[in-house]
Amino acid sequence: MTAGSRQGQSGLFIVFNLTLLFAVIGLSADVGVGYLARQQAQTAADSAATAAAMYASQNGYTCGSGGVICGAATACANPNVYPPTNNLQAGCLYAAANGYLNGGNGGKQVVTMTGNTTTPPGVAGNTAAYWVQANISDYRAALFGLFAGVNSFVVNAVSTAGITITSPGACVYVLASGNVANAFVASGSATVTAACGIFVNSGSSSAFVTSGSSTVHSTTIQVVGGTSVSGATVTPTPTTGVASFSDPLATLPMPAFTGCNFTNYSLGNGGVATISPGVYCGGISLSGSAQLTLNPGTYVLNGAGLTMSGSSSIKGTHVTLFNTGQSGQTASPISNTGSSVMNLTAPNSGTYQGMLFVQDRNLTYSGTNSFTGSTNSVLTGTLYFPSTKIAYAGASTTGSYTAIVAKTISFTGNSSLKNDPTGTYTGLAVRGTSLIN
């Protein structure tokens, strides 16, 4: 073999090996780029799924209500909808914020969102009240893989986030701490039937008091202090000496407002009216046979509270009444007495889901909030009076989704309270949002 032939063969060998080397280097580089792209896509999918689940959590997680979507996979819009009108659109916005827009990258990016209340797809051992799955795919051009005949690669990422619900321990919370006696009282012929727990935070030896022919039935009765049961029937036997507990609604924000939309609103005998949400300085007063309807929303009772007497009535769905006293107004108790009737339902989504009456926790006032009117009343939601007293005579004997969180509570009538394990009606269940795969 001549020297020239040997040199030619050496050249071919070098070219072959260099090509192989470049291919290996190229593939290694593309693998690294692909790994980073996969991580970016996964971050976008995680953000999208979490955002969509959080939106649903804040709006009731009920299919078809409050912008909560259930059903088949839905492709994100291009451009995305802003502000979002449903939870899947919220997820799409977060995917885009992380670099993935459906139809982006020259039409190569695909972003879809799915939500439902069924068993989460591909998730073993996890349950959720509602779940959202984000799917992202994208084609990326190979940088050096051409040396090995690899023109492009596909990046895929899937993420599922779910809403978990922790049932509240009780539907009656007595918040008075220290040694407040008579924090919980059932007297006379009162009958309290609670298909839920009763928690009493007072450390007094007579924190839980029943007398007369009263009856208290509950799933559990937990008392930090002691009990005084005289001639009454209480089941189960209260557990005393338990650890103190905190206000379950301690993080609930108080409504912000300015000015007055109405002043000293009153409706007298024979009056019939429908009013809208707003700031009612001087409160609302109903007397005689007045009939008042509340449109959905938040009503700020800035001073004087709500006073009902005679055979007056008030009704409304998806309403929250905030009792306060600011800007020179003096806060006063809620007073529903005589044969007056309340038929009110709290919102089923949003910040104040399940909140029917909210007392400003930043103030207190003397006197007792009286819910002692007609037994034809039905209150669906939570009565939240963290620094004031409640006297409650019950409502519909068939039971209602009513929860009471107050400094002290006195039961004087027949009260039947249903259990609300998901917090749909009372807002007391604890919701958590997390990734589940």
Separation CA 173–CA 181 (nearest Å): 15
Instruction: Please tell me the predicted confidence (pLDDT) of residue 80.
Output: 97
What is each CA distance from 57 to 95, 332, 338, in whole angstroms? 19, 34, 39
Instruction: Please tell me the predicted confidence (pLDDT) of residue 375.
Output: 82
Report the Cα 16 to chain-centroid distance in Å.
65
For the chain, the residue count is 437
Q: 94, 48 in Cβ contact below 8 A?
A: yes
Instruction: Please tell me the predicted confidence (pLDDT) of residue 431.
Output: 86
Report the Cα 387 to chain-centroid distance in Å.
23
Q: 293, 315 in Cβ contact below 8 A?
A: yes
Separation CA 34–CA 234 (nearest Å): 67
pLDDT at 221 over 70: yes
What's the pLDDT band for 150 if we cut at 50, 70, 90? low
The packing angle between helices 3-58 and 87-97, to 10°, is 150
Fill in the amino acid letter for 181: A
pTM for the predicted model, two decimal places: 0.82
Q: Which of the given ranges, 122-126, 273-277, 411-415, has the highest pLDDT on average? A: 273-277
The domain limits of the chain are 3-166, 172-418
Instruction: Please tell me the predicted confidence (pLDDT) of residue 122.
Output: 78
What's the pLDDT band for 133 if we cut at 50, 70, 90? very high
pLDDT at 172 over 70: yes
pLDDT at 118 over 60: yes
DSSP string, 137-152: EEEEE-SSGGGGT--E
pLDDT at 6 over 70: no
pLDDT at 123 over 60: yes
Quickly tell me which residue has 């609604």 as its tokens.
Answer: 249
Element (H, E) at 154: strand 152-166
| pLDDT (tens digit per residue) in 70-102 | 999 999 999 999 999 999 999 999 999 999 999
The mean pLDDT of the chain is 90
Picking from 170, 171, 215, the residue whose alpha carbon sits closest to that of residue 192 is: 215
Instruction: Please tell me the predicted confidence (pLDDT) of residue 394.
Output: 72
394: left (phi over 0), alpha (psi -120 to 50) or beta: left
pLDDT at 4 over 60: no
Picking from 382, 353, 369, the residue whose alpha carbon sits closest to that of residue 410 is: 369
Q: Where are the beta strands (DSSP E) in 175-269?
A: 184-186, 191-200, 208-210, 215-223, 227-229, 233-235, 239-240, 262-267
Separation CA 50–CA 407 (nearest Å): 36
Q: What are phi and psi of 417, to 5 degrees?
A: -115, 125
pLDDT at 16 over 80: no
| pLDDT (tens digit per residue) in 227-284 | 999 989 999 999 999 999 999 999 999 999 999 999 999 999 889 999 999 999 999 9
Top-confidence residue, 142 or 353: 353
Q: What are phi and psi of 53, to 5 degrees?
A: -65, -40
Top-confidence residue, 262 or 396: 262
Top-confidence residue, 231 or 306: 306
Segment among 101-115, 120-134, 221-235, 415-429 with least mean pLDDT? 120-134
pLDDT at 429 over 80: yes
What's the pLDDT band for 398 if we cut at 50, 70, 90? low
What's the pLDDT band for 214 if we cut at 50, 70, 90? very high
What's the pLDDT band for 139 if we cut at 50, 70, 90? confident
Question: Which percentage of the chain shows pLDDT scores above 70?
Answer: 88
Picking from 405, 403, 392, the residue whose alpha carbon sits closest to that of residue 214 is: 392
Q: 84, 66 in Cβ contact below 8 A?
A: no
Separation CA 346–CA 357 (nearest Å): 8
